[in-house]
Chains A and B, each alone.
Chain A
Amino acid sequence: AQSVAQPEDQVNVAEGNPLTVKCTYSVSGNPYLFWYVQYPNRGLQFLLKYITGDNLVKGSYGFEAEFNKSQTSFHLKKPSALVSDSALYFCAVREDSGAGSYQLTFGKGTKLSVIP
């Protein structure tokens, strides 16, 4: 079974400071990893994904994430936070089993608040 943990319910960071939103995962095989952002009363928006290749993945709005296989982590990062980055962030995983379902398993989400 696949699972995702986002250990922080909320992260507060000052505008202009670097931000990190943590994610760890568990799968039997190789993982496909995703980050989504959810703004109030809006659907989930795709930010970035790791499939294979470089461990550092760059995505939308200046976000990036680093895949660490030994630590089974996929933390989301941004060098300089903006107030407009305040939202709910979800990490998701699916296992590359080569067949069957492509369902994503999501974490519970981390609320990011960027303080002016």
Chain B
Amino acid sequence: GAGVSQTPSNKVTEKGKYVELRCDPISGHTALYWYRQSLGQGPEFLIYFQGTGAADDSGLPNDRFFAVRPEGSVSTLKIQRTERGDSAVYLCASSLKALGGAGGGNEQFFGPGTRLTVL
């Protein structure tokens, strides 16, 4: 079946502009995650959805960042008033519902990422 898809693959924008990044998770995966990967670093957690609700948004760096998942499938990461420091690869991942215990160890499947460049 299809994996996690992300659009666009590349996004170049100017400082101060608004951007939206889209993620289509694997069908049937109720858990969805956003990460940000800067050059030479590992992915850093941003936000986690279980269904439609954001169960943990502790990784969002500030209030310019927001994410939604209105129908429990596709998610959109929104960045307002972009800054040059926002330039990175934004990764989306999905997994089977984390039930706790061993279910919490369900592996996350990652999309190819969106490379955001803020000029």
Contact = CB atoms under 8 A, between A and B. Distances in A.
B107 interface: yes
B104 A44 contact: no
Nearest to B59: A103
Q: Is the interface of B mostly helix, strand, loop or mixed?
A: mixed
Contacts of A101: 48, 55-56, 58
Interface in A89-116: 90, 92, 94, 96, 98-109
Interface string B91-119: 10101001011101101111111000000
Contacts of A100: 55-56
Interface in A48-82: 49, 51-52
B48 A102 contact: yes
Contacts of B59: 103
Q: Which 7 A-B pairs have the closest CB atoms?
A: A106-B42, A101-B56, A51-B105, A103-B45, A44-B110, A43-B112, A43-B110
23 contacts: A36-B110, A43-B112, A44-B110, A46-B108, A49-B105, A51-B105, A90-B43, A94-B104, A96-B101, A98-B100, A98-B104, A101-B56, A101-B58, A102-B48, A102-B95, A103-B45, A103-B48, A104-B33, A104-B35, A106-B42, A106-B44, A107-B42, A108-B40
A43 B42 contact: no
B101 A98 contact: yes
B113 to A, nearest CB: 6
B26 interface: no
Nearest to A103: B45
A101 B54 CA distance: 10
Contact of A34 (B98, B107, B111): B107
B31 interface: yes
Interface of B: 4, 31, 33, 35, 40-45, 48, 55-56, 58-59, 91, 93, 95, 98, 100-102, 104-105, 107-113
Interface of A: 4, 32, 34, 36, 41-46, 49, 51-52, 90, 92, 94, 96, 98-109
Given A51-B102, A98-B100, A104-B108, A44 B43 contact: yes
B9 to A, nearest CB: 9
